[in-house]
Amino acid sequence: MIEQFIEIKAANADSLLFYRMGDFYELFFTDAEVAARTLGITLTKRGQHLGRDIPMAGVPVHAANDYLQKLIAAGHRVAVCEQVEDPAEAKKRGGKALVRRDVTRLVTPGTITEENILDPGEPNWLLAVGRVKGEEKPALAWIDISTGAFRTATSAGERLLSDILRIDPREVLVPQTLFEDPDLRPTWDALGRLANPQPNALFESASASDRICRVLSVSTLDGFGQFSRSELSAMGGVVAWVEKTQLGARVPLSPPQREEGASTLFIDAATRTSLELTRTSGGSREGSLLKVIDRTVTGPGARLLAERLAAPLTDPERILRRQRSVTFLRQENALRDGLRSALRGVPDLMRALSRLSLGRGGPRDLGAIRMALSSGRELADRLADVELPEELQSARQALHALPEEIGDLLGKALATDLPLLARDGGFVGEAFDEELDAQRALASDSRRVIAVMQAELAEETAIKTLKIRHNNMLGYYIEVPSSHGLKLTEGEAKARFIHRQTMSNAMRFTTTELADLESRIADAGGRALAIETAIFERLVGAVLEETECLRIGAEALAILDVSAALAELADIENWCAPTIDGSLAFEVECGRHPVVEAALRAQQGDAFIANDCTLSPPQGAKAGALWLLTGPNMGGKSTFLRQNALIAILAQMGAHVPATRATIGIVDRLFSRVGASDDLARGRSTFMVEMVETAAILNQAGERSLVILDEIGRGTSTFDGLSIAWATAEHLHETNRCRAIFATHFHEMTALAETLPRLANVTMRVKEMEGEVIFLHQVGKGAADRSYGVQVARLAGLPKSVLARARTVLERLEAGGASTPGAGTLIDDLPLFSAAIRQAENELASDAAPASAHEALLAMLDGINPDDLSPREALETLYRLKDVRRD
Ligand SMILES: Nc1ncnc2c1ncn2[C@@H]1O[C@H](COP(=O)(O)OP(=O)(O)OP(=O)(O)O)[C@@H](O)[C@H]1O
């Protein structure tokens, strides 16, 4: 057996092998060790191989899905190996012949379909990258086999990572040569375990067309548009992987849809992470913008919302088409409520359809389609006779076009309570199939028929205590007390009653009639199941015939859900419909940050303070404005920066926005540099990360971009930082000419307003009362004169002694007037240093023993608090120490 395992494992080396043995999937060797570690199951051993114990671990078949889920989540792939022949067949080959086994399915993160493994609100994209020689730009193709969605796009080297992150796939297939391309190394490193290198052959562009045509059952791809060879390579790769993992099952793919690069707002990887659109920077959905705005009531709706949020549009007409649906449903309260309650509980039609198509579906999936069809009809009725905006009109049309006859057929065929698996039977309702009803009647009538037979036999034999019973060994039998048993073994009765067993106090018999009845009952059960299985296949076939129509209907349901959800959100949260046009305007009146606002509300803290933002080209100017935002720590600068970026995203995804009024001239690229984090894995310090991201912005932002920059240059010395921030602001203004907000603690930069005409100074207001600062969170014209860092440090709980010392240092620094006075002056002025130095100098002057000079230096060192020193001050202190030693 272990030889069979080794052979199958060798063909699936990069997967954990689930090897079916009875009611368990067993894992052996290192697979067993990995599984035991990941799943917390017991590691045992079974036999020996090459003189060593074979490690083994197993999971029960009935609970395999839960274990699969954990292994997939941990980034593993699993090959499920089943028995592929009847044990009886194997026996025919010889007593010891092993039952044939083979891999029947490869489970990988991007190819799962199980309802309990999938998240209902998230798509499960499998993505492939392709790039052929002679074509510079890599292409992407991605499929969600749980719904059949199939997309493709052309990317570019520098934006490959951001494009991949926008799609947010569960698995990324990469041709081996691209995986080894040093230029793309950082992309694969950033993707980590998601990237799955595969042999180049999988991505052969020449054979890709045929493969895709075969899967889509078409003779040519021409009808779907012209694809580049790189696109074909990516599409071929992703389709080949689906075929490989699904091992021949028919995948219900929809025709490939091309996404034009310029049609979506470009959001680079760092921006996407820092804005926490669909996940927080910690990776969780909780606390993301998506979580806060999601009011959808169905899984497909939640997925569509996430998709729209991840890829806002850049065509005003397409945006407005979506926005009009939201505005309409916002006004039509009653209709919206009705739609939402009808949508609640509508099952996930596409996922059910996909499972049926892959041969992994069951009666409940048919039930889901039955229910989705009847809900679709109900929703279409609700929308009938209403004057709808264009997008909703198309949705209504799609719902009207849903195949009524399939709904009726399923309605008639299916019972109310449905089992998970077809082989469990009992899912076809009564009066659907005569033969089935007859067989069922026979099976269920058996009790009555047996009771009648028992009464007749008791009368005939005059044995009142005669019973007909059943057990697994004998099946049905007649039982009489021993005292009567002999009667049945003599005379005429002997011919009729066939002796089966003698017990201590009873004897058991059967008759030809009873045996007949028994086999009829057993057959009836089997026959009923066979009829049901055939009906199941017929129903699945009929449903799959209508795949295209059902898919369009499912999309319509998702669109209704998203539009109604965004309308509900806008209504409850009091958002406004932004004006969208092709200008360079950016006007937000009373804008809010939806996530911070929700958090403040949840904490029952202060109300969120709304703020205006105007980045439209100032009078007479051709390019947008640059706001230089100063203000205290904790004043709300980052919140303000982010909220304006989020408003642009929400506006361009077609939603209403958290403001009282907004006009957004299309933004084509959005960049943000907010918050600092190091990237130790890639050997980059915090400052380095900041500079790399700033470089990306300065090199890419154009007139139509929106840029938000938070505290550029804080990770280095004051002068260096200020110089970089200064030059960056000038570059943004003069060269990039984009709309931008630049937050900084370098108050010196406010002087730039004198030379840069489109730059305006704004500040977060604070009030000082009895030495305390009160953050007003209000943005107003002008510049801040200080950062209130020490006050914020107090709020954070820094020790009192440190705060007192910091205040003294600050006072001296401010009195000095310069931004970084020489540390020498400071040391002289501030008591701790001067005391330490004086002590050291005294001790050296009095010709103290070297030990005491040493101690004096130690005392000086004790007096230094490195956190309080700027790099320059630190250097000066060092010289000072050296000087003391020289003296
Ligand atoms: N407009 C607002 N209304 C009410 N509270 C706000 C507002 N903006 C920010 N806050 C509150 O102030 C906190 C700090 O905001 P934020 O992080 O934006 O400040 P900051 O100026 O960027 O601080 P730092 O300079 O220290 O990074 C937020 O967590 C939030 O609780």
Sequence spans of domains, the chain? 2-107, 126-259, 294-403+546-572, 434-535, 574-791, 800-886
Q: Count the neighbouring beta carbons within 10 Å of the beta carbon of residue 778.
A: 17
pLDDT at 19: 93
Give yes or no for residue 638 CB within 6 A of ligand 1: yes
Give yes or no for residue 795 CB within 6 A of ligand 1: no
pLDDT of residue 837 exceeding 50, the answer is no
For residues 299-308, average pLDDT: 95
Task: Give 519-540 pLDDT, tens digit per residue.
Answer: 888 788 888 899 999 999 999 9
Among 588, 596, 787, say which to mutate for ligand 1: greatest number of ligand atoms within 8 Å of CB: 596
Give yes or no for residue 635 CB within 6 A of ligand 1: yes
pLDDT at 715: 67
CA separation for the pair 116, 348 (Å, rounded): 13
What six digits make up the tokens of 430?
């009564």
Answer with the residue of higher pLDDT: 758 or 821. 758
Is the ipTM reported for this complex over the cut 0.85? yes
Burial class of residue 885 (count of CB atoms within 10 Å of its CB; 0-12, 13-18, 19+) = exposed
Q: How confident is the model at residue 23 (pLDDT cuts 50, 70, 90)?
A: confident
pLDDT at 610: 96
CA separation for the pair 854, 843 (Å, rounded): 10
Give yes or no for residue 787 CB within 6 A of ligand 1: no
Q: Give percent of the chain above pLDDT 70.
A: 91
Q: Name the residue among 137, 221, 139 with its Cα closest to residue 173.
A: 139
pLDDT at 255: 86
Q: Which ligand 1 atom sits nearest the alpha carbon of residue 792?
A: 26
Task: Give 665-700 pLDDT, tens digit per residue.
Answer: 999 999 998 865 544 445 556 777 778 788 888 888
pLDDT at 424: 84
Q: In sequence order, which residues have a C-beta less than 8 Å from that of residue 464 and are 6 or more positions away?
A: 458
Give yes or no for residue 633 CB within 6 A of ligand 1: yes
Q: Count the neighbouring beta carbons within 10 Å of the beta carbon of residue 686.
A: 15
Among 611, 612, 639, 762, say which to mutate for ligand 1: greatest number of ligand atoms within 8 Å of CB: 639
Q: Give percent of the chain above pLDDT 90.
A: 47
Find the helix or strand (DSSP H, E) in which 53 lies. Answer: strand 52-60
pLDDT at 651: 98
pLDDT at 106: 87
Ligand 1 center to residue 748 CA distance, Å? 22
Give yes or no for residue 746 CB within 6 A of ligand 1: no
Ligand 1 center to residue 804 CA distance, Å? 25
> Which CA distances in Å does 99 have to 22, 24, 56, 257, 731?
11, 15, 20, 45, 72
For residues 586-612, average pLDDT: 93
Give yes or no for residue 606 CB within 6 A of ligand 1: yes
Q: Name the residue among 235, 233, 259, 242 with its Cα closest to residue 354.
A: 242
Same fold, 294-403+546-572 and 434-535: yes
Ligand 1 center to residue 586 CA distance, Å? 22
Q: What is the mean pLDDT of the chain?
A: 86
pTM > 0.90 = no
Q: What is the CATH number of domain 126-259?
A: 3.30.420.110
Answer with the residue of higher pLDDT: 886 or 861. 861
Task: Give 314-346 pLDDT, tens digit per residue.
Answer: 999 999 999 999 999 999 999 999 999 999 989
What six digits make up the tokens of 133?
């020689």
Task: Give 338-370 pLDDT, tens digit per residue.
Answer: 999 999 989 999 999 988 988 888 999 999 999
Give yes or no for residue 658 CB within 6 A of ligand 1: no
Among 634, 674, 787, say which to mutate for ligand 1: greatest number of ligand atoms within 8 Å of CB: 634
Phi, psi of 355 (to 5 degrees): -65, -40
For residues 10-30, average pLDDT: 90
For residues 207-224, average pLDDT: 87
Burial class of residue 754 (count of CB atoms within 10 Å of its CB; 0-12, 13-18, 19+) = exposed
pLDDT of residue 196 exceeding 50, the answer is yes
**Are residues 230 and 207 in contact, defined by beta-carbon separation less than 8 angstroms?**
no
Ligand 1 center to residue 599 CA distance, Å? 12
Q: Which CATH architecture has domain 574-791?
A: 3-Layer(aba) Sandwich (3.40)
DSSP characters over 109-155: GGG---TTTS-TTS---EEEEE--TT--S-EEEEEETTTTEEEEEE-
**11 secondary structure, DSSP code:** H
pLDDT of residue 825 exceeding 70, the answer is no
pLDDT of residue 748 exceeding 60, the answer is yes
pLDDT at 48: 83
Ligand 1 center to residue 637 CA distance, Å? 6
481-506 burial, b if ≥16 CB within 10 A, otherwise e?
A: eeebbebbeeeeeeeebbeeeeeeeb
Give yes or no for residue 303 CB within 6 A of ligand 1: no
Q: Which CATH architecture has domain 434-535?
A: Orthogonal Bundle (1.10)
Ligand 1 center to residue 28 CA distance, Å? 55
For residues 216-231, average pLDDT: 86
pLDDT at 423: 84
Ligand 1 center to residue 591 CA distance, Å? 14
Decide: helix, strand or coil at residue 710: strand
- Tokens 């305006």 locate to 760
Nearest CA to ligand 1 atom 10: 636
> What Rg do the C-alpha atoms of the chain give, in angstroms?
37
pLDDT at 853: 60
Would you tell me which CATH number, out of the four given (3.40.50.1240, 3.40.50.300, 1.25.40.10, 3.40.1170.10), belongs to the domain 2-107? 3.40.1170.10
**Are residues 625 and 762 in contact, defined by beta-carbon separation less than 8 angstroms?**
no
Q: How confident is the model at residue 826 (pLDDT cuts 50, 70, 90)?
A: low
Burial class of residue 465 (count of CB atoms within 10 Å of its CB; 0-12, 13-18, 19+) = exposed
For residues 824-840, average pLDDT: 48
pLDDT of residue 581 exceeding 90, the answer is yes
Domain 294-403+546-572 has CATH 1.10.1420.10: yes
Nearest CA to ligand 1 atom 28: 636
Query: Picking from 32-41, 232-241, 568-577, 854-863, which range would have the lowest pLDDT averaged per residue?
Result: 854-863
- Tokens 């630190």 locate to 874
**421 secondary structure, DSSP code:** S
pLDDT of residue 138 exceeding 60, the answer is yes
